[in-house]
């Protein structure tokens, strides 16, 4: 994920507990896009994605899962939210 030094259109903030990277791991920073969408980043760019996507239940994705959510909702995602933590 580019930081705001390479893309001035992005601002960032520290991640809150429970917020997720696009790979499914806990986010350390959240990038805020110009349209107001928050995208989590774990800081681990050279590690494989989780084998089971916590957002859609499928396998690892090459890019952000279309079902990505910054904060997993345990009611909506059930056991997948707990397993991703």
pLDDT in tens, 1-52: 454 455 555 699 999 999 999 988 999 999 998 888 899 999 988 877 778 8
Residue 1 belongs to some domain of the structure: yes
What pLDDT is recorded for position 80? 47
CA 55 to chain centre: 9
Residue 21 belongs to some domain of the structure: yes
Residue 77 belongs to some domain of the structure: no
Ordered alpha helix ranges (H), the chain:
74-77, 79-84
Instruction: Inform me whether the pLDDT recorded for 68 exceeds 70.
Output: yes
Which domain covers residue 63, as residue numbers?
1-71
Beta bridge partners of 2: none
Domains in the chain, number: 1
pTM of the model: 0.69
Residue 31 belongs to some domain of the structure: yes
Residue 78 belongs to some domain of the structure: no
SS3 assignment, position 19: strand
């Amino acid at each position: 994920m580019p930081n705001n030094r390479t893309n001035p259109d992005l601002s960032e903030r520290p991640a809150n507990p429970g917020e997720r990277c696009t790979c499914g791991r806990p986010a350390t920073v959240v990038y805020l896009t110009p349209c107001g969408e928050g995208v989590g980043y774990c800081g681990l760019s050279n590690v494989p994605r989780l084998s089971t996507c916590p957002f859609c239940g499928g396998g690892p994705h090459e890019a952000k899962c279309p079902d990505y959510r910054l904060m997993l909702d345990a009611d909506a995602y059930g056991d997948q939210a707990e397993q991703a933590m």
